[in-house]
Amino acid sequence: MSAPGFLPMTRAEMAGLGWTEIDILLVTGDAYVDHPAFGAPLLGRWLRSQGWRVGIVAQPRWDRPDDVARLGRPRLFAGASAGALDSMLAHYTAFRKKRSDDAYTPGGAAGARPNRAAIVYAGLLRRAFPGLPVVLGGIEASLRRAAHYDFWSDSLRRSILLDSKADLLVYGMGERAVSELARRLDRGEDARGIAGTAFMGGPADVPEAAACARLPSYEEIQTEPKKLMAATLALEAQMRSGSWALQAHAQRAVVFAPPAEPLATEELDRLYALPFTRLAHPSYRQAIPAVEMIRSSLTAHRGCAGGCSFCALALHQGRQIASRSRQSLLAEAAELARRPDWDGSVTDLGGPSANMWGARCASEPKACRRSSCLTPSICPHFQDDQAGLLSLLRSLRSVPGVKHLRVASGVRHDLALRCPDYAQALAAEFTGGQLKLAPEHSSEAVLALMRKPSFRVFERFLSLFERESQAAGKEQYVVPYLMSAFPGCTDSDMRALASWLRTRGWKPRQVQCFIPASGTVATAMYFAGIDPEGRRIKVARTDAERLRQHGILAEGRGQPARRARGGG
Ligand code: SF4
């Protein structure tokens, strides 16, 4: 089958492009959807725009190596990613039960990728192409780049670099790193030390004059679990400061080169202007659920300044916000509106949060020692642009062919309160009946551990949203995201939250039992039983304790959370 407009997935598609070999192979645990929300196609298009011949193998068989080798040996390197989610999170629930679906697979079927997919794919690539550099990337590799706690096996694991035997690991958003990697390998140069990568080495690999954080070793953490907290905080600080870092594993060490700089606005604009078809590869016979979710959405920015202690996405994308320009977003909306399948609705404008577009640090982020720009209070150097965002939302809605524009990403209510005009317009113009908010909890102590704003801030925003919905004559609901069994949260905290919900007549639908994602500060709390300052905290660790906490809220689920008063 030919697939014009797509990166090749078969030899026949390569031949259609006049290629007899590829330079770079990307293997991914997601189906190939040619959309910038999917990592492998995003990097593939980026590399292709720089002249490299890139092929994609999506969701290969993993019982033998010939499937990953179907495009032949690439000239420079092969990249392996588990996909948009950590494969264990994609496969198992918070209670380690097997999931029956997978939104990134045709037909939504589970079972198209293996557990620990990045390790498995790297192994297949090494067998298929002996001697070829194998590079790990994506969120699974990024979060497991140092020694980490693995919830699924309830054990401390070594850096994924050791278990995969990959040559290099790209952490964070990978565009700069893969470009530099391709350039160096093409010239026959050493690939170690590229910003945004990690590799096996030793102190001699760190430039002499460079600042380098020494993380507690894997063996030290094994002996003394609280050292996972020190290692996690040190890696967080390394991301902020742009230094090097090193973590010993027995006689060897994982060397972390400084993080890559976020893409500048012009670079992000160029990236999103690449010729994505926004479609699933035509070889798929069944619909891919994730496509429906992102088909008509616009990504305005990357990064999240919130620094929530449990958030894997923010850890992967970093604290600095990189925003696209108005022109770029307007051009993409116009292009969407020209598509034959266009239904008139932009379903979301956002990023990791809905309202950080255009935000920046007016000071020196690399010298900053805070773990969040927004908690415990909003940093005086944090400059957001809610008014600019509102103007952008209205401009996008005026694009010919756009009838509706909704905000579906989670709104940072603390930021929304800083601009009454934005909050008012959110309720009156850009909420399609439901607004997602993430108060997560009502306990101030738990919220502080989560690095979330005070519950009073949430209540203030709620009153404002109700008032503005009523003034606009709209019947709207808030969908609150809440979490049970967070480290430091007790049964009585959960009962207090349940009681608050009852007094308000809420029956929340979105209650997530805390899942310790590898690499986060919250997971270090769960593993070590301490807070970031080293104080002992209560942790609901057993399934029975976690289920009990979860049950305190989950009993009332099933109905919309709250109706904002008003007509309609
Ligand atoms: S100085 Fe303030 S705004 Fe800048 S990075 Fe630090 S906390 Fe964020």
Q: Is 4 exposed, middle or buried (0-12, 13-18, 19+ CB in 10 A)?
A: exposed
| Cβ proximity of 548 and 260 under 8 Å | no
Backbone angles phi, psi at 12, to 5 degrees: -65, -40
Distance 319 CA to ligand 1 centre (A): 9
Q: Which residues of 527-550 are buried (b: 16+ CB within 10 A; e: fewer)?
A: bbbbbbeeeebebbeeeeebbebb
Question: Tens of pLDDT along 178-215?
Answer: 999 999 999 999 999 999 999 999 999 999 999 999 99
Distance 241 CA to ligand 1 centre (A): 12
Q: How far apart are CA 548 and CA 308, in angstroms?
A: 24
Q: Which atom of ligand 1 is nearest to the CA of 379?
A: 2
Greatest Cα pair distance in the chain: 69
| Cβ proximity of 487 and 232 under 8 Å | no
E strand spans, 93-146: 134-137
Report cis status (omega within 30 of 0) of the bond before 352.
no
- Number of Cβ within a 10 Å radius of residue 558: 9
| Cβ proximity of 260 and 196 under 8 Å | yes
Give the angle subtended at the CA of 184 by the CAs of 181 and 187, to the nearest 5°.
145
Q: What is the pTM of this model?
A: 0.94
Which are the contacts of 141, defined by CB distance < 8 A and separation ≥ 6? Answer: 81, 82, 118, 160, 164, 169, 170, 171
User: Which of 304, 381, 383, 451 to probe ligand 1 with, by most ligand atoms within 8 A of CB?
Assistant: 381
Q: How far apart are CA 113 and CA 118, in angstroms?
A: 10
Domains of the chain: 11-193 (3.40.50.2300), 438-444+471-568 (3.30.750)
Pocket of ligand 1 (CB under 6 A): 305, 361, 363, 365, 368, 370, 373, 379, 381-382
Q: Which atom of ligand 1 is nearest to the CA of 380?
A: 2
Write the single-letter amino acid at 439. Answer: P
Looking at residue 555, its pLDDT comes to: 64
Q: How far apart are CA 440 and CA 474, in angstroms?
A: 25
Looking at residue 479, its pLDDT comes to: 85
Q: Enumerate residue ranges in the chain where pLDDT < 70.
A: 1-2, 554-568
Residue having the nearest C-alpha atom to atom 6 of ligand 1: 368
Looking at residue 95, its pLDDT comes to: 92
Looking at residue 508, its pLDDT comes to: 75
